[in-house]
């Protein structure tokens, strides 16, 4: 098997909680807590979980948009956490991010052409003509009419704006893209269009995706492997088919059963979770999920389960296995 493009080892991103007049650090929010996994070339790895589980923080820590507090991120076997700022700048050509909200992530004072060509001018010394040519090619690929290139973001619908964001992220032909909830703000009929576009571009440019989403239906469609996060911890990780057909962790089972059915006649067994996600500043002892877990046992309240391989390529952190 090919070497992984990206290897994440024991990554930790903690945010300090400061209190008192001296603003002393009294505790930490463990947004990403000791997470290890790798992403192979041309693969789509998805992270799912409820709001506040740390999935976006993890995505941003990998790109060093947020500084991790511990662990390693190996990109082509080099730890990017040790990169100097000039090395990091070069790395940005290869790694890009697509944001959730196409309304706030585009500068309203820049035209589409300016938005999409900006990364080219930042990273290369390139003539205006060359840049224009590349922008035209990119716009065509993402399905934006060329005659609209001089327009401004407010003149576009949500779906069209997300196409602009994608064009902007992909113009440098990156090797690795983190897509943070790219379709969550869009209507259903538009969601499918954007997902299709992402899959097409992946094929064309041989790209690797880290796809972050709370929508299990979207994830099912686009990913090769899925990781389920809860309170900063990875709970289960395996290939897409196994996670939907044979979820092992009670949290994954509950998440899947909460997805609304697609047919009113479908009889569905429901595991309704009680309560909310606990505050990550004050996580429960033992297994972080034990307070909401329908199968919690004695040991879950005190001993934290280890994240281990229970079947081939199927990792779970649960005392049941």
Give the C-alpha separation, 134 to 126, whole Å. 11
- Spatial strand order of the sheet with 24-40 comes to 24-40, 4-19, 70-75, 78-79
| Bridge partner residues of 208 (DSSP) | 176
CA distances from 236 to 225, 230, 264 (A): 11, 10, 30
One of 86, 129, 272, 282 touching another protein (CB under 8 A):
272
Give the C-alpha separation, 224 to 228, whole Å. 13
Per CB under 8 A, the segment of 5-13, 32-40, 122-130, 257-265 that binds another protein is 257-265
Cβ neighbors of 92 (< 8 A, separation 6 or more) are: 123
Per CB under 8 A, the segment of 33-41, 103-111, 151-159, 163-171 that binds another protein is 151-159
Per CB under 8 A, the segment of 12-20, 72-80, 81-89, 189-197 that binds another protein is 189-197
One of 1, 147, 264, 306 touching another protein (CB under 8 A):
264
Q: Does 255 help bind another protein (rule: CB under 8 A)?
A: yes
Window 31-60: residues binding another protein (CB under 8 A): 50-51
| C-beta of 187 vs 203, nearer to another protein | 187
Mask for 204-243, x = binds another protein (CB under 8 A): ----------xxxxx-xxxx----------------xx--
Cβ neighbors of 317 (< 8 A, separation 6 or more) are: 233, 234, 235, 236, 249, 287, 305, 306, 307, 308
| C-beta of 44 vs 61, nearer to another protein | 44
Q: Which residues bind another protein (CB under 8 A)?
A: 50-51, 157-160, 187-193, 195-196, 199, 214-218, 220-223, 240-241, 254-255, 257-266, 270, 272-273, 275-277
């Amino acid at each position: 098997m090919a070497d992984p493009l990206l290897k994440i080892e024991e990554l930790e991103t903690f945010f300090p909680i400061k209190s008192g007049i001296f603003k002393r650090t009294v505790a930490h929010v463990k947004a990403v807590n000791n997470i290890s996994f790798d992403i192979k070339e041309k693969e789509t790895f998805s992270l799912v979980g409820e709001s506040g589980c740390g999935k976006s923080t993890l995505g941003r820590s990998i790109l060093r948009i947020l500084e991790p507090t511990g662990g390693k991120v190996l990109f082509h076997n080099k730890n990017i956490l040790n990169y100097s700022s000039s090395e990091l700048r070069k790395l940005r050509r290869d790694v890009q991010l697509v944001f959730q909200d196409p309304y706030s992530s585009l500068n309203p004072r820049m035209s589409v052409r300016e938005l999409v060509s900006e990364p080219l001018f930042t990273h290369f010394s390139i003539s205006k003509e060359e840049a224009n040519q590349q922008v035209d090619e990119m716009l065509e690929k993402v399905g934006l009419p060329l005659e609209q290139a001089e327009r401004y973001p407010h003149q576009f619908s949500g779906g069209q704006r997300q196409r602009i964001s994608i064009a902007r992220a992909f113009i440098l032909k990156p090797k690795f893209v983190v897509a943070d909830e790219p379709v969550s703000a869009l209507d259903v009929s538009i969601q499918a269009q954007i997902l299709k576009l992402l899959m097409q571009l992946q094929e064309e440019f041989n790209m690797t995706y880290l796809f972050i989403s709370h929508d299990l239906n979207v994830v099912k469609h686009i990913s090769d492997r899925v990781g389920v996060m809860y309170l900063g911890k990875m709970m289960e990780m395996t290939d897409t088919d196994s996670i939907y057909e044979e979820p092992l962790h009670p949290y994954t089972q509950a998440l899947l059963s909460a997805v609304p059915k697609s047919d009113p006649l479908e009889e569905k067994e429901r595991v309704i979770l009680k309560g909310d996600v606990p505050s990550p500043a004050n996580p429960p002892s033992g297994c972080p999920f034990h307070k909401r877990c329908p199968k919690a046992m004695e040991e879950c309240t005190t001993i934290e389960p280890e994240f281990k391989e229970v079947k081939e390529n199927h990792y779970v952190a649960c005392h049941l296995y």
